[in-house]
Amino acid sequence: MDDDVFNMQIRKFLKNVGVTSQREIEIAVREALADGRLKGDEQLNVKVTLVIDDPSLSKVIEGTINLV
């Protein structure tokens, strides 16, 4: 295994995850604000599940996003 290649591949994947996740969260929150499901002062509980088939890995990462 080439550690440099491995590291760069992980970073590339995580960059895609970060950009895509931010976009999807922004869209969901804007839609919820527009239709009244959110007021804009909430704290959102968020959860991401990271899964790798082989080698087996399943990790839940939880946090919060404050809207104010």
Distance in angstroms (rounded) separating the CA atoms of residues 11 and 18: 10
Tell me which residue range forms the domain holding 24. Answer: 3-66
Q: How many domains does the chain have?
A: 1
pLDDT value of position 6: 98
pLDDT value of position 54: 96
* CA separation, residue 54 to residues 22, 34, 58 (Å): 27, 41, 10
* CA separation, residue 34 to residues 14, 44, 54 (Å): 30, 16, 41
Which amino acid, one-letter code, is at 65? Answer: I
pLDDT value of position 12: 98
pLDDT tens string 15-42: 999 999 999 999 999 999 999 999 999 9
pLDDT tens string 35-53: 999 999 999 999 999 999 9
